[in-house]
Amino acid sequence: MSNDEVNSIGSGPVLVSKHPASGKAHSLTQEEKRVGKTLKKSVQLSEEELANINSKKGLIQLLSTKNVDVTKALIKLRYEQELERLQIEFVKLQRSVQQEGRRVAIIFEGRDAAGKGGTIRRFIEHLNPRSARVVALPKPTEVQQGQWYFQRYTEQLPNPGEIVFFDRSWYNRAVVEPVMKFCTKSQHRNFMQQVPEFEHMLYEDGLELRKFWFSISKQVQQERFESRRLNQLKQWKISPVDDKAQEHWDLYTKYKEEMFSKTHTSYSPWIIVKANDKKKARLESMRYALSSLEFEGKDDAGTSLYPDPDIVIRYHRSSQSID
């Protein structure tokens, strides 16, 4: 790693360690925090090594012995910088939603391991939790199974001034439930007939709904499943449904295509996000949401709000799909 490469990260000391004698720590700049995030997964440092990093020179000397891929580190840093710029715009959006009493719901759908949860975490990371929340409903109770299907979801819709992120939604009945035989053919058919009418009522009532489908290839899904099994911090994500995802890949595709054809409307369109690259999917889906929702200060955004058309596309019947 060269001086020029480290200088491109930012000015001033990169990391400031806790002084062993005083026990006090200097606060880190935003640049320094981003560098720390960038290197977190690339380098494992001992306490002694951390204590020695108090200048760019010390960082260069240490990382040169750690075989750090500088190119990858800088790509990650650029991602962290752009993510922060978009998150700032989301804070501005939330303020507008609160002040104007608007209701915003953003749905995240897609196959298992498509990156929905990780993307939602980036969306919501710096938002005020009093007016932004994530809905990830568990298996319905016996009572809920006897209710109108949409009932438990309507209870979770945003209140005035609120943004709600659905980590899977009523569209469970469009794909997952029929594949896994969690619903009958009649229930699935009724849902497909009712959902456009349901969403039209939401539209007429002023709710702002955005629907994302995160699209990944079969190979990438398999790789992510293997990563979950090997990573002890991610093993909680593994479920019996995951085990069937690869086996029933083509059946998922069949129901997904039917869902698109019957529930993609002018007032509630499907937005497809190519998610084989997680970082690009996160940034570009954030960009789309910001571009499609009005808020004060939008014209003075600190970064581009135009999503990459190679990553984010509006569904149409002739479009090519990776899943």
Position 55, amino acid = S
Per cent of the chain over pLDDT 70 is 80
What's the CA gap between 17 and 49, in Å, rounded? 10
Q: Which pLDDT score, from 0 to 100, does residue 75 have?
A: 86
Instruction: Quote the pLDDT of residue 139.
Output: 94
Rounded CA separation 58/284 (Å) = 36
Domains and CATH numbers, the chain: 3-68 (no CATH), 86-314 (3.40.50.300)
209 phi, psi to nearest 5 deg: -110, 135
CB-based contacts of 297, cutoff 8 Å, min separation 6: 89, 92
Pinpoint the alpha helices (H) of the chain: 3-7, 30-40, 47-52, 56-64, 70-100, 116-124, 142-145, 151-154, 176-180, 185-204, 218-230, 240-245, 249-263, 278-292
Q: What is the pLDDT of residue 48?
A: 72
For 83-92, what is each residue's pLDDT tens digit?
A: 999 999 999 9
The pLDDT score that the predictor gives to residue 11 is 42
Contact 6, 69 (CB under 8 A): no
Distances in Å between the alpha carbon of 167 and those of 51, 118, 121, 126, 170? 41, 10, 10, 18, 10
Query: What DSSP string describes 154-204?
Result: HTTSPPTTEEEEEES-GGGGTTHHHHHT-S-HHHHHHHHHHHHHHHHHHHH
Handedness of CA 136, 97, 304, 129 (dihedral sign): negative
Q: Which two tokens stand for residue 113?
A: 């391991």
pLDDT digits (tens, 9 = 90+) for 54-85: 666 666 666 666 666 777 778 888 999 999 99
**158-200: pLDDT as tens digits:** 999 999 999 999 999 999 999 999 999 999 999 999 999 999 9
Which pLDDT value is given to residue 47?
A: 72
Backbone phi and psi for residue 228, each to the nearest 5 degrees, phi listed first: -65, -40
pLDDT tens over the chain, length 323 residues: 444 554 554 444 344 334 444 444 456 577 666 666 666 656 666 777 766 666 666 666 666 666 667 777 788 889 999 999 999 999 999 999 999 999 999 999 999 999 999 999 999 999 999 999 999 999 999 999 999 999 999 999 999 999 999 999 999 999 999 999 999 999 999 999 999 999 999 999 999 999 999 999 999 999 999 988 888 777 777 777 777 899 999 999 999 999 999 999 999 999 999 999 999 999 999 999 999 999 999 999 999 999 999 999 999 877 777 88
Rg (CA), the chain: 22
Six token digits for residue 36: 């720390």
**Cβ atoms 10, 32 nearer than 8 A:** yes
